[in-house]
Amino acid sequence: MTVQDLAVFDFDWSLIEADSDATVCKHFCPNKWASLPPSAQRMQWTDLIDQTLCEIQDGGSSIDDIEKVLQRVPMVPSALELLESLRASNTRVLILSDANTFFIDVILRAHGVRDLVSDIITNPAYTDDQGRLRINRRILSTEAPHNCPNTCTVNICKGQELDRYIATHGPFRRIMYVGDGMNDYCPGLRLKHTDLYFVRNGKQLARALTTKPEVAGRLLVQVTYWKDHAVIVETVAKPAAVPSL
Ligand SMILES: [Mg+2]
Ligand SMILES: [Zn+2]
């Protein structure tokens, strides 16, 4: 059996050039979005998006209208080239995101790349009994908390999700992770020195890693900073200098 490589992507600002939640909310509810209280004083993010989706649809906009806004969201430059090269090298592709199944699916399909992604782990979207698009937390408030000590939001711990994914589908020869947010730090701690960790320049995780030595110091993997996927395409194209597990 050939041992595969695994490529893990965060979605917002890592695979697409936007925050999908903010794009939808800003489009339909610009006033509410402009006056959002700071994160410490507002409701949990997934609940806030769910509540906003209800307001959007109760206000007369349809799921189709929401889809049309999502279909215009651009991908990160060179993302298509990267996904195609991962397919060509038989790398398994996982999206690990705090967005939701509906937004991710619509955007990937709009770019014709849904088939280049093996799996998506994120907050589940569903249709309620009034026919409205709704979002649930990946870990419901009624379920046991993840108790992760890292910078993970209450609804998803990407590190634990990655552990479970590897236990189910692995082992993998080499893992590459592409992220930008603080919730991409916990899965980064799972990476070995032979793996690849691509952190987006100018975003929250890059700021933490470059200004807080104690944060960067916990990583076993070397960090490659990026502004578009061209540098990742280049790195991935190099033959892996690591032996199989
Ligand atoms: Mg992100
Ligand atoms: Zn975590």
pLDDT surpasses 60 at 241: no
Q: Is 10 a catalytic residue?
A: yes
Domain residue extents for the chain: 6-18+74-125+139-237, 22-71
Q: How many CB atoms lie within 10 A of CB 239?
A: 5
Local confidence band at 1 (pLDDT 50, 70, 90 cut-offs): low
Q: Is 65 a catalytic residue?
A: no
* Mean pLDDT across 45-60: 97
At 242 the pLDDT is 54
Comparing 33-42, 131-140, 160-169, which segment has the lowest mean pLDDT?
33-42
172-216 residue pLDDT tens = 999 999 999 999 999 999 999 999 999 999 999 999 999 999 999
Q: Which fold has domain 6-18+74-125+139-237?
A: Rossmann fold (3.40.50)
> Which token pair is 99?
């967005």
For residue 2, the CA-to-ligand 2 centroid distance in Å is 30
For residue 155, the CA-to-ligand 1 centroid distance in Å is 15
pLDDT surpasses 70 at 96: yes
Local confidence band at 151 (pLDDT 50, 70, 90 cut-offs): confident
* Mean pLDDT across 31-38: 90
At 229 the pLDDT is 94
For residue 10, the CA-to-ligand 1 centroid distance in Å is 5
Measured from the alpha carbon of residue 205, the closest ligand is 1
pLDDT surpasses 50 at 9: yes
* Model pTM score: 0.95
Measured from the alpha carbon of residue 12, the closest ligand is 1
For residue 240, the CA-to-ligand 1 centroid distance in Å is 26
Query: What rounded mean pLDDT belongs to the chain?
Result: 95
* Mean pLDDT across 70-76: 98
